[in-house]
Amino acid sequence: MYDYLVVGSGLFGAVFAHEAMQAGKTVLVLERRDHVGGNVYCETKDGIHIHKYGAHIFHTSYEDIWNYVNQFVKFNNFINSPVAYYQGHLYNLPFNMNTFRELWDIVTPAQAEAIIAVQRRSITGTPKNLEEQAISLVGTDIYMKLIKGYTEKQWGRSCSELPAFIIKRLPVRYTFDNNYFNDRYQGIPIGGYNKLIEALLAGVEVRTGVDYLKERALYRNVAKTIVYTGSIDEYFDYKLGQLEYRGLHFETERLEEVNHQGVAVVNYTERDVPYTRIIEHKHFESGTQPVTYITREYPAEWKRGEEAYYPVNSEQNQRLYQQYAILGRQEQNVIFGGRLAEYKYYDMDDVIKSALECVHKRL
């Protein structure tokens, strides 16, 4: 009998398995996809690492998490500076003096502040939803051109039905600084994300192509403790109802061009363009290959049986999740962890931190 059966080989599962094994425990990892790594997995084509499940940029302010991942792989000095495309014009992101200058042809921070102060007047009190939060942060021009269309296609619902915290992920700055993140540390693993996952899972027994929920009878008793990182409602066979997730689909194209868009990420913020972003993968690692690969990312309704990419953290879904969490706590010898099992909009560093805290509490 194993000490731990880890269901899912994404970052949560891989970190948990690594730490448990280091502490002398026996671990079996099951993964239903045909590869390990969850959503950080990359495919290599023409020497370019293709982020198969969307652009992944590692960023963190936790020094211990930065040191942790650097034990396994070194990171390059990539800084994410995406641009937004709206009706034939490009605007720098996140919202900063470059964006304000492009929109209003102004020169100083005081001019930008004055424009935004007028445009945010309609919002008084604490913003109740994403729309109010966005207008209160950056005013109506930016909301209409760079936020509303992107957000409504990304989430498939109106900005007034979405939680305010989603837009607070983005910095707003009155300086000329196009760094998308405020975090102290940032980069892409040199050699790709698979190197990180392979190092974490080195020496761990892994079976891919196995869906634990379909083979529960076979695997239920193989370990003393199960660490489950799939969707929590699926684990309980949706018995309290279905949580909502946002789906995605990706279309990747090889182009006989050296440099297609000049930057790793372009956001398409108009509602009428069906995709949200085009990723040009080689720019994550300053690739010099003679060809390039781009991926269009299309948001989609999620249906059972498809990959769930984002939890939709509306109040209603949060209430349902809390009910599932209660069932989860009653489940004997099962730990629920990661983006899907905790129904949380976790970044990679948060997931690693959460997995480390979870495993060290038990060892």
The question of whether 339 is a catalytic residue gets the answer no
Smallest gap, in angstroms, from Cβ of residue 172 to ligand UDP?
11
**The binder of ligand FAD chosen from 18, 33, 282, 353 (CB under 6 A):** 33
* Of residues 292 and 354, the one with the C-beta less far from ligand FAD: 354
* Of residues 146 and 196, the one with the C-beta less far from ligand FAD: 196
Distance of CA 232 to the CA centre of its chain: 18
List 101, 173, 207, 296, catalytic entry: 173
Q: Is 169 in the site for ligand UDP (CB under 6 A)?
A: yes
* Of residues 85 and 185, the one with the C-beta less far from ligand UDP: 85
List 64, 113, 121, 169, catalytic entry: 169
Q: Are 199 and 290 within 8 A, CB to CB? A: no
| 3 state DSSP class of 133 | helix
- Do the strands 277-280 and 292-301 form a parallel or antiparallel pair, or are they unpaired? antiparallel
Q: Is 191 in the site for ligand FAD (CB under 6 A)?
A: no
Instruction: Give the span between the Cα atoms of 225 and 204, in whole angstroms.
Output: 16
Length of the chain: 363
Instruction: Give the span between the Cα atoms of 159 and 144, in whole angstroms.
Output: 11
Instruction: Give the span between the Cα atoms of 89 and 252, in whole angstroms.
Output: 24
* Of residues 115 and 210, the one with the C-beta less far from ligand FAD: 210
The question of whether 350 is a catalytic residue gets the answer no
Distance of CA 147 to the CA centre of its chain: 18
Q: Decide which of ligand FAD, ligand UDP, none touches 28; Cβ closer than 5 to 8 Å per partner kind.
A: none
The question of whether 169 is a catalytic residue gets the answer yes
Neighbours of 1 (CB within 10 A): 8
Which of 316, 315, 312, 343 is closest to 235 using CA atoms? 343
List 228, 277, 321, 343, catalytic entry: 277
202-261 residues in contact with ligand FAD (CB under 6 A) are 211-213, 229-230, 248
| 3 state DSSP class of 179 | coil
Q: Return the bridge partners of 249, or none.
A: 298
Q: Please compute Rg for the chain using Cα positions.
A: 21
Q: Decide which of ligand FAD, ligand UDP, none touches 247; Cβ closer than 5 to 8 Å per partner kind.
A: none
Half-sphere exposure of 227 (CA within 13 A, CB side): 32
Instruction: Give the span between the Cα atoms of 277 and 266, in whole angstroms.
Output: 6
* Of residues 269 and 295, the one with the C-beta less far from ligand UDP: 269
Instruction: Give the span between the Cα atoms of 262 and 320, in whole angstroms.
Output: 43
**The binder of ligand UDP chosen from 154, 178, 231, 292 (CB under 6 A):** 154
Peptide bond preceding 94 in cis form (omega within 30 of 0)? yes
Burial 217-232 (b: 16+ CB within 10 A, else e): eebeeebebbbbbbbb
231-290 residues in contact with ligand UDP (CB under 6 A) are 267, 269
List 297, 339, 343, 349, catalytic entry: 297
Q: Decide which of ligand FAD, ligand UDP, none touches 30; Cβ closer than 5 to 8 Å per partner kind.
A: ligand FAD
Q: Is 338 in the site for ligand FAD (CB under 6 A)?
A: yes
* Of residues 60 and 151, the one with the C-beta less far from ligand UDP: 151
Binding mask 136-175 for ligand FAD (x = CB under 6 A): ----------------------------------------
134-153 residues in contact with ligand UDP (CB under 6 A) are 146-147, 150-151
The question of whether 161 is a catalytic residue gets the answer no
Kindly list the residues in this chain that would bind ligand UDP in the complex (CB under 6 A).
Answer: 84, 93, 146-147, 150-151, 154, 166-167, 169-170, 267, 269
Catalytic sites, residue numbers: 169, 173, 246, 277, 297, 345, 347
